[in-house]
Amino acid sequence: ASPLVIPSYTCNATMPDSVTTVTLPPVDAWTLRNGGGGRYLGAKKTFNIILDCTPETIVSVAYSGSTMSGTDDVLVNTTPGIDNVGIQVFSGSNALTFNGPETQIISSALASQTFVYDAYYYYKGDNGIVRGGLVTASAVFIFNYK
């Protein structure tokens, strides 16, 4: 009898040039506040995650991070003093939902696939104060392979 070979479905996730910090261009506080509430389209930063997978691998992803009060799709600013501004990350036209269930993103992987994300500033609105200073946020992208 021949041995049963169980394939190992796995991937290697990388970011080009090993960049794990995404830096948005600076925006004037007045401009951000006067742009109105929500995602600020005047500044964005695109970043990629490349998955090199065993062919036919099924991949799902979950996103984890501290979110702005009342939202599940805006990362909270972890720098004290600017509570009305956060970071929103999009995949295509969809804002990422943080701390939710994982979602399948590949049903049968090719050898290499690139996922493109866009990071934006997000202003809470409600005429909240926006001061000059740093806006920092952190998120974890968890890829699961089957």
pLDDT tens profile 49-83: 999 988 888 889 999 999 999 999 999 999 988 88
- Integer CA distances (angstroms), 58 to 5, 83, 87, 101, 111, in order: 18, 39, 29, 16, 12
Q: Which tokens go with 88?
A: 């929103």
33 confidence band (pLDDT: 50, 70, 90): confident
State pLDDT tens for residues 85-122: 999 999 999 999 999 999 888 888 777 889 999 999 99
Which residue type sits at 65?
G
| Half-sphere exposure for 81 (CA within 13 Å, toward CB) | 7
Look at residue 7 in the predicted model and tell me its pLDDT.
67
pTM value is: 0.88
Helices and strands of the chain, counted as H and E runs: 1, 8
Q: How far apart are CA 139 and CA 36, in angstroms?
A: 25
Of how many residues is the chain composed?
146
